[in-house]
Structure 1
Amino acid sequence: MQYLLMIYSKESGWSQMTDSERQQGVAAYHAYTEALKKAEVLVGANRLQHTNTATTVRLVDSKPQVLDGPYSDSKEQLAGYYLIDVPDLDAAIAWASRCPGAAHGIMEVRPVWSAPYDTPSAA
């Protein structure tokens, strides 16, 4: 089953680190990503740009309303994610616990819902 491991952290945290701390952080994420690859559970991953680059779209009276920035304010922002394929929630939680993001932010683990239309139909 696929799970999305979402990394929430303070955007300003990176800029407040020393060069040495940033290098250690990059190395920790690289090692974590390599461990996921070696275990053959990594489906995809990406780091997200800061929230000031976000665009929020919603419908108001059936017309799109486009706003700059994220939808809501919070202490932590969605900074990146890992999409993994593991047997169950316990395995997903174990991988989330190993992510460097768990040490400096919050990890949200959410199962991916495969909609029926994602499955090819038999012809």
Structure 2
Amino acid sequence: MDDSGPEPALPLRALRCRRCGRAAVPVQDFGCESCGAHDLDLEEVELSGRGVVLALTTVHRHPAPAVEPPFTLGSVRLDEGPVVRALLHGPELRAGAPVVVDLAADGRPAFAVRHAEKETDA
């Protein structure tokens, strides 16, 4: 059993290369970004939805009236390797914080800080 915190709120998909193992987000059909493999050497996979915040910033002003600040954006290194830029939400946001895909209060996909429910010696 995985005790690394809550399950992701929704699936996160990637393209994994069968030749070199690299995972890439978003799924695309251009080929592997690392080794150039294509077609049958690529497979679509579901990622864990877990990662670590590399950097973040809070936006206090936005030029589009439909976008209501403040909101926090960050770079998240997923456990499988790719780095994604995404909305972050919740307390305790900081570089180095473990996060999981979640839904913000307005229903948008976002990453939230995850807390281990308990530590075990497996």
Bucket of the pairwise TM-score, normalised by the shorter protein: under 0.3
Higher helix content, 1 or 2 = 1
RCO greater where, 1 or 2, for CA within 8 Å and sep 6 or more?
1
Quick check: which has more Rg, 1 or 2?
A: 1
Alignment TM-score, normalising by the size of structure 2: 0.22
Higher strand content, 1 or 2 = 2
